[in-house]
Structure 1
Amino acid sequence: KKPCTAIFVGTGYFAEIHIPESRSLNGKGKKTMESSRNRKGAQSIQRAISLLRAVARHNEKGVALSKIAAEAGLHVATAHRMLAVLVQEGLVNQNPISKLYHLGIELFLLGGAAQQFTIRNQLRSALERIAGETGDTVFLLIRSGNDVLCIDRVEGKFPIRTIMIDIGARRPLGIGAGSLALIAFLPDDQFQAILSANTSRYAQYQNLTAEDIRKLAAISRKQGYVVSEGLFHEGVTSLGVPIFNRQKKVIAAITVSSISQRMDGKRCQEIVQMVRKVTRLEGTTSLRKTPKQKKLAESPRRNK
C-alpha cells in the first residue's frame, strides 16, 4: 500500500509531506482517534453530571460558580463554560442579580416525565401507612453519587414533629440513619471508598467523624438496620431501614424519626417489623437477612 500524502498550503508555497502508513488516519490511527474522542465525550458527560449534582446540593439558596467548580473538581473556567451550556439547555438557571446557580425547569420536566417509574410512586402508600400507624415522620431516601437524596416525606400526627431533611435536599452519604442504611450493607471496599470521598465533608457536622460512621455501620450490619440516638440530631432518635431489590442490592432506605422519649427498644423493633411488612411491593423487600443472620435463624426442624 502507498503511504499517505498530506499537502499543506502555506503563504506562497506548497509543501508535500509523506506520512508513514503507521501514522496515517487509516487503520489503528483512526481507531485511536475515535477512542480518544469517545473518552473525551464520556468525560464531558461525567463532568456535566458532577456540576448538576453540585448545584442540586445547594439548590434552595443557590450556589456560586467557585463553589460549584470546587465540589465538581473542575477549574473555574471549565465549570463556567459547561454551566453556560447547561443554562442554555434549561437544565440550570443563573440568577441575573446574585449570579447564583439553581436547577432549571427543564430538569424538573425531565424528572416529571420519569416519575411513573420511580420507587417514590411504588412506596408512597407504604410511607403513608407507616406514618399513619406510628404517628411519626417518615422519609424515603435514595443514593445519588456520594450524596443521599430525600425523594419523599410523610408527616405523622404526633404533635411534636421532627423535620430533619426536606424533599429534594442532599447530604453526604453516611449522615443520618437512612443515609447510613443506604451504604452500610455495601461490599466493604465500596463502603470505604464512599467514606474516604466524604471525609472532608463530614467536618461540617459537629463531633462526627468517618470513624464514628464506620463503627455505627458495623453495629447496623449485625442487627440489619440503623439506630441513631441523638448522633445526628440532638434529642431525636431515627431508624434507618434499607430497602433491597430481588438482586439483594439496596435501592432505597426508609427513615422513621421521633423524639427520643418515644423510641425505646421495644418500639423500635415494632417499627422495623412494620417497615419490613409494608414495603414488600412488586419484588421489593426490605431488610433481607444477611447470610450470617440466616444461619442463626435456621433450625434443624426447618431444614427437615
Structure 2
Amino acid sequence: MRSRSPAAAGIAGRSAGEGNTDGTQAVRRAAAILRRIGRGGTQGASLADVTQALGLPRSTTHRILKCLVDEGLVKHDTERRRYLIGQLTYELGLTFNESALDLAKWRVVVDRVAQKTGVTAYLLSRSGIEATCVLKTEGNSVVRVIPVEVGQRRFLGVGAGATALLAALDEELRENVIKTIAPYLTAYSTLTEDKVRELVDQTLATGYSVSRGNVARDVIGIGMVVPEAPYLALSIAGLANQIEEKGVAHWAQILRQEINAVRSKDA
C-alpha cells in the first residue's frame, strides 16, 4: 500500500473559520462539526462543545447543526441535548470500499492480536490531524478496557496508536500538528505540548509508542505504525497491571510480529 501525501491527508487543511463566498466556508464548517461530533464517539457532542471547538458564534453553530440534522447527517438527542453522527452519514460510509485500507486483511490481524494478548486491539487510520479507529476486537480478559470505539476520532498524539501515527510524520509536519492540537490537550491532565514531543521521541527511539494513563486512568496502550503504510497503526490497550505483568516490550513484540507477517505476505 502506498502512503498518501500530507496534502492529500488534509494535515495542512484550513480551519473551520476560513473560507470565502463561493460556499467553501460552509462546507469546511460542516466538516469540522462532523469531525468534532465524531471525536465524541457514542457520547457525541453538545452545542457548547461544537461552538467552542469551531470558535464560531453559538447562533451560527446552531444553524449549521440544524441543517445537518434536517439532512440526516447528524442526529439530535433532545433528551441528553447531544448531537451524534446521523443515519445518512453512516449509510454513506457503507459505500466506502474496504480495499482502500485493505480492512479485510487487517481485520484478521486485529483479531489475532486480541486473541494473543487477551486485551483490546485496534487498527487506526490517520485522517488529517486526527486518528480514526477503523477496527476493534475485544480480548478475552475478564475486565475489558475500551477507551475508543470504531469510528471515534482522536487528535494525533492522544493515545498510543495516534502517537505512533504522529511520530511517522516528518518533523515539520509533526510540529505543525502539535501546535494545532495544543489548545485541546487541556482535556487530558497528563498531556502537554512538551509531553507529546517526549512521547514522540520515545516512539522514534523504540519503534513503538506507549501511553500510560494519558487517555484513561490505569490503562496502558501500545501502538506501532505500519512501515509501508504509515497512515495505519496497530495498537492494544489494557489495564496497567495486565500490561506490566509481562512488560511493555513483550506486548510490543507481538505487534511487531503481526505487522511483519503482513509485510512478508505482501512482499
Contact kept, 8 Å, 1:55 with 1:101, in 2: the verdict is yes
Residue equivalent to 2:195: 212
- Is 1:228 aligned with 2:208? no
1:132 to 106, 115, 118: 115
Give CA-to-partner distance per residue, 1:6-48, whole Å, 9 cap, x none: xxxxxxxxxxxxxxxxxxxxxxxxxxxxxxx986333322111
> What is the number of equivalent residue pairs in this alignment?
245
Residue equivalent to 1:257: 237
Contact kept, 8 Å, 2:235 with 2:255, in 1: the verdict is no
Amino acid at match of 2:68: L
Contact kept, 8 Å, 2:119 with 2:141, in 1: the verdict is yes
Q: How does 1:281-296 map to 2 (within 5 A)?
A: 283=266
Amino acid at match of 1:200: P
Task: Output the TM-score relative to the length of structure 2.
Answer: 0.79
State the shift of 1:235 in Å: 4.1
- Is 1:271 aligned with 2:266? no
CA distance in 2: counterparts of 1:75 and 1:163, whole angstroms: 34
2:62 to 74, 80, 87: 80
The 1:132/1:98 distance shift into structure 2, 3 A limit, reads: closer
Amino acid at match of 1:136: V
The 1:169/1:281 distance shift into structure 2, 3 A limit, reads: farther
The 1:281/1:45 distance shift into structure 2, 3 A limit, reads: farther
1:103 to 85, 88, 108: 85
Please tell me whether Structure 1 or Structure 2 has the larger radius of gyration of its CA atoms.
1
Contact kept, 8 Å, 1:137 with 1:155, in 2: the verdict is yes
Task: Output the TM-score relative to the length of structure 1.
Answer: 0.71
State the shift of 1:137 in Å: 1.9
CA distance in 1: counterparts of 2:43 and 2:161, whole angstroms: 24
Amino acid at match of 2:120: T
Give CA-to-partner distance per residue, 1:100-128, whole Å, 9 cap, x none: 32211000001112153353333101111
CA distance in 2: counterparts of 1:199 and 1:52, whole angstroms: 20
State the shift of 1:267 in Å: 1.4
- Is 1:192 aligned with 2:175? yes
| Structure 1 SS opposite 2:263 | coil
Q: Structure 1, unaligned stretches of length 5 or more? A: 1-36, 286-304
Contact kept, 8 Å, 1:139 with 1:154, in 2: the verdict is yes
Contact kept, 8 Å, 1:87 with 1:104, in 2: the verdict is yes
Amino acid at match of 1:206: S
Q: Structure 2, unaligned stretches of length 5 or more? A: 1-18
Contact kept, 8 Å, 2:132 with 2:152, in 1: the verdict is yes
CA distance in 2: counterparts of 1:65 and 1:230, whole angstroms: 28
CA distance in 2: counterparts of 1:100 and 1:235, whole angstroms: 28
Q: How does 1:1-304 map to 2 (within 5 A)?
A: 40-119=22-101, 120-245=103-228, 250-258=230-238, 259-264=242-247, 266-280=249-263, 283=266
Percent of aligned positions that are identical: 28
Contact kept, 8 Å, 2:243 with 2:251, in 1: the verdict is no
Amino acid at match of 2:94: G
CA distance in 2: counterparts of 1:40 and 1:77, whole angstroms: 21
